[in-house]
């Protein structure tokens, strides 16, 4: 089940490694949270089965799937040279663990996974951090970064701001309304208008009744 044709044209630095897309049975020699390292018979270099390559379902910890010393089927999905080190990547989910059959013979799923990983690395390498600083100075305390109203804001209380000294003369002590008071005044105005309307109707009815009584007396 090995791809022996690929060994004839090995890139420099990859000699003596299992062929790409070859399938073998190896032994788990180390289990980490992020994956398991597997050693293949006849090769000194170990390869990593990342948790994302262990199952089609999401895996949080490699210990949920494999144990130390366990024999598993793997498919070689990556061989990279990073500096002076060679990195081997294996996949379990691409192989039937019972028969060793290749579940992705055309490597379609593997190529898609690699493209997604490359795209993820490219876009997360340059993270953008947004930090906003309020470019204003409080006229009360003289500190930068907040408005004057923030000096008076207290959680749970609703108070109106005391006007600045230069504004106080022009306003001539006009009543200060808070958002909590305004609805109450509107309600009081409505009640007053309603009461006045009732009084007008009452007076009109009384005048009408008085006129009728006077007319009856004259008759």
Q: Cα separations (Å) of 196 from 30, 110, 193, 208, 210?
A: 89, 82, 5, 18, 21
pLDDT computed for residue 85 by the predictor: 86
pLDDT computed for residue 3 by the predictor: 47
- Mean pLDDT value across residues 116-132: 56
pLDDT 10s digits, 19-58? 999 999 999 999 999 999 999 999 988 999 999 999 999 9
pLDDT computed for residue 214 by the predictor: 67
The overall average pLDDT reported for the chain is 76
pLDDT computed for residue 176 by the predictor: 52
pLDDT computed for residue 132 by the predictor: 53
Would you give the end-to-end CA distance of the chain in angstroms? 127
This prediction's pTM: 0.49
């Amino acid at each position: 089940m090995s791809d022996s044709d690929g060994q004839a044209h090995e890139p420099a630095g990859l000699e003596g490694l299992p062929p790409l897309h070859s399938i073998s049975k190896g032994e788990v020699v180390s289990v980490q949270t992020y994956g398991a390292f597997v050693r293949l018979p006849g090769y000194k270099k170990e390869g990593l089965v990342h948790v994302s390559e262990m199952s089609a379902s999401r895996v949080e910890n490699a210990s949920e799937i494999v144990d130390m010393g366990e024999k598993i089927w793997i498919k070689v999905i990556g061989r990279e040279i990073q500096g002076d080190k060679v990195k081997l990547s294996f996949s379990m989910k691409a192989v039937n663990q019972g028969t060793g059959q290749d579940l992705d013979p055309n490597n379609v799923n593997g190529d898609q996974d690699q493209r997604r990983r490359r795209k993820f690395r490219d876009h997360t390498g340059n993270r953008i951090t947004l930090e906003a600083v309020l470019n204003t100075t409080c006229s009360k305390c003289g500190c930068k970064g907040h408005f004057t109203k923030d000096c008076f804001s207290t959680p749970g209380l609703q108070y109106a701001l005391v006007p600045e000294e230069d504004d106080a003369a022009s306003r001539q002590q006009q009543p200060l309304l808070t958002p909590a008071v305004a609805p109450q005044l509107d309600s009081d105005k409505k009640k007053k208008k309603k009461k006045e309307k009732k009084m007008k109707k009452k007076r009109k009815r009384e005048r009408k009744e008085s006129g009728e009584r006077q007319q009856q007396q004259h008759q």
